[in-house]
Structure 1
Amino acid sequence: MKSLFDSEVYGEILNRIDQLKATDRGQWGKMTVGQMVWHCQVPLKVAVANKPNSKKGNLLVRWFFKKSLYNDTPWRKNLPTSPFAKTTEAKDFTTEREKLRALITEFHQLNNRKTWNPHPLFGRLTHEQWGLMQYKHLDHHLRQFGV
């Protein structure tokens, strides 16, 4: 499994993002490419902010989905999107892509972070799990848009 903390993987993801075009259409789902690059920022913002969280997350979600965050099995198409990571508003592709690239870089540079607060939905994750999860989420949506 690939991790966004790995320098080669980081470069691969940025390269794939650069291949996206404003006219791209998803092979599944309802998001536009602008909405997708906005959506992909949400879990990276959670990780980068590393805010203390008193929530223990949704136990049902954690039990059913947590292990799929960082294993080698690709996510199935049309998984439900968490409400806080969903938008129906139009998003400017170019602006949102640049924000996403900056967040990916900021996350990648956290390779030496020792302390991670629990994820608001999935609870405690190891450093390794954070890197695997971020890669898997980005890979899922880049495949959705054919890159």
Structure 2
Amino acid sequence: MALPNIFTSEVTDAVIGRINKLTPASTPLWGKMNVSQMLAHLNVSYEMVYEDKHPKPKGFMKFILKMLVKNKVVGETPYKHNGPTAPAFIITDERDFQAEKSRLIAHIKKTQELGEKHFDGKESHSFGPLTITEWNNMFYKHLDHHLGQFGV
């Protein structure tokens, strides 16, 4: 089962449409994050691609991530509810809903505009070089999981 292609404008537009259904009062169907924290959490994936904000794992930690975590993140199997989260993705402070929403939409649009060829073989923050399919699965699956968490 192939996941929808986040690099196409149709899928990007559909995901952004789902994001635009969220409000500051949206509540989760599971989990601890509020909607603003969830948007900030989703932004971390893109910060790791577009910003030099998060330290890259090295040595043994990078090996562990590649061997034990990578396939869960870049594969097609959906995430389970309340699964483990890497420390960089844990958002506990309050965030501005509109700012996080705008940042996320901008990141998604930038990714789509750069296109899949830009990501083909590109080094990921934690897992080494990824294929187009792996990048797509990582981006789309994470978005879909958390948008579903909030019922959109």
Q: Normalization by structure 2: what TM-score?
A: 0.84
Equivalent residue letter for 1:141: H
After TM superposition, the runs of 4+ consecutive aligned structure 1 residues lying more than 6 A away are none
Aligned-residue RMSD, C-alpha: 2.3
Superposition map of 1:76-115 within 5 A: 76-111=80-115, 112-113=117-118
Q: How many residues align?
A: 146
Indicate if the aligned counterparts of 2:70 and 2:127 stay in contact, CA closer than 8 A. Answer: yes
Superposition map of 1:4-15 within 5 A: 4-15=6-17
Equivalent residue letter for 1:6: T
Indicate if the aligned counterparts of 1:26 and 1:33 stay in contact, CA closer than 8 A. Answer: yes
Cα distance in 1 for residues equivalent to 2:119 and 2:23: 36
Q: Normalization by structure 1: what TM-score?
A: 0.86
- Alignment correspondent of 1:39: 41
1:118 to 119, 123, 133: 123
Q: Does 1:59 align with 2:63?
A: yes
Q: Which runs of 5+ in 2 are unaligned?
A: none
1:17 to 16, 19, 24: 19
Shift of 1:143: 0.5
Equivalent residue letter for 1:37: L
Q: Which runs of 5+ in 1 are unaligned?
A: none
Give the number of the structure whose residues are more often helix, by fraction. Answer: 2
Q: 1:85-112 CA deviation, whole Å, 9 max, x = no partner?
A: 2221101111110111011111111213
Query: What is the percent sequence identity of the aligned residues?
Result: 35
Q: Does 1:69 align with 2:73?
A: yes
